[in-house]
């Protein structure tokens, strides 16, 4: 009987040490196996806008030019996201996520890109527009260099590039507060 109690005690101790070793092994692998995180970038959130039938949105993003010859402006990776929502069929106060339109591009200093969203045929869609800018390079002290400026415009009328289009509103993208 005493031998059986000793064997149970030895099994419990061995199991406890095995579990502790397993936990320590996972912690060590987690700590030393970390991948380098991407540099933090900027986000410009334009909020949610309702599109009517015949309207389209144009989002333009530009990487700034250097102010002086010695200033180095890095390339930036820009991700433009249009999240499209519709009104819930069961609850008129609730929005339901429908789809996402997303494009990623790299802009050199002085380059610009634009993306038109004109998929609203019936109107009534809510569109949440976001721009994420991540610099391709990070300075030695880890700070982010390079910014991009975004602008959202809403148009009414024909197709993009058509002469029958009129601009309804322009929303300049600012990161913090008022930026004239």
In this predicted model, what pLDDT tens digit does every residue of 75-126 receive, in sequence order? 888 888 888 888 888 888 888 888 888 899 888 888 888 888 876 555 667 8
Tell me what the mean pLDDT of segment 140-153 comes to.
68
pLDDT at 37: 47
User: Helices (H), strands (E): how many in the chain?
Assistant: 1, 8
pLDDT at 180: 44
**What is the rounded CA–CA span in Å between residue 146 and residue 62?**
11
Q: Which residue has the tokens 């996402």?
A: 100
For β-strands 95-107 and 76-87, DSSP reports them as antiparallel
Tell me which range, 31-35, 37-41, 149-153, is most confidently predicted by mean pLDDT.
149-153
Domain map (residue ranges) of the chain: 1-35, 42-172
**What is the rounded CA–CA span in Å between residue 35 and residue 68?**
36
- pLDDT class for 159, splitting at 50, 70, 90? low
Which uninterrupted H or E stretch holds 166?
A: strand 165-172
pLDDT at 157: 75
Cβ contact 78:148 at 8 Å = yes
Lowest mean pLDDT among 27-31, 44-48, 102-106, 107-111: 27-31
pLDDT at 8: 74
Q: Is the pLDDT of residue 143 over 70?
A: no
This prediction has a pTM of: 0.63
Q: Of 32 and 57, which is predicted with more confidence?
A: 57
% of the chain at pLDDT higher than 70: 66
pLDDT at 117: 82
**What is the rounded CA–CA span in Å between residue 16 and residue 178?**
59
The chain-wide mean pLDDT, for the chain, equals: 75
Answer yes or no: CATH 2.60.290 is held by domain 42-172.
yes
């Amino acid at each position: 009987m005493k031998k059986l109690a000793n064997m149970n005690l030895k099994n419990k101790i061995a199991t406890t040490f095995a579990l502790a070793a397993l936990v320590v092994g996972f912690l060590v692998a987690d700590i030393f196996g970390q991948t380098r995180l991407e540099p933090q970038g900027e986000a410009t959130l334009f909020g949610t806008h309702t599109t009517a039938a015949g309207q389209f949105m144009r989002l333009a993003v530009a990487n700034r030019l250097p102010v002086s010859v010695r200033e180095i402006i890095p390339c930036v990776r820009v991700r433009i996201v249009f999240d499209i929502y519709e009104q819930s069929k069961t609850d008129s106060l609730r929005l339901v996520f429908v789809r996402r339109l997303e494009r990623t591009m790299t802009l050199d200093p002085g380059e610009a890109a634009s993306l038109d969203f004109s998929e609203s045929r019936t109107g009534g869609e809510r569109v949440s527009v976001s721009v994420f800018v991540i610099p391709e390079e990070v300075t030695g002290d880890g700070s982010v260099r390079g910014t991009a400026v975004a602008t959202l415009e809403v148009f009414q009328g024909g197709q993009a590039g058509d002469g029958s289009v009129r601009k309804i509103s322009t929303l300049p993208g600012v990161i913090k507060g008022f930026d004239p």
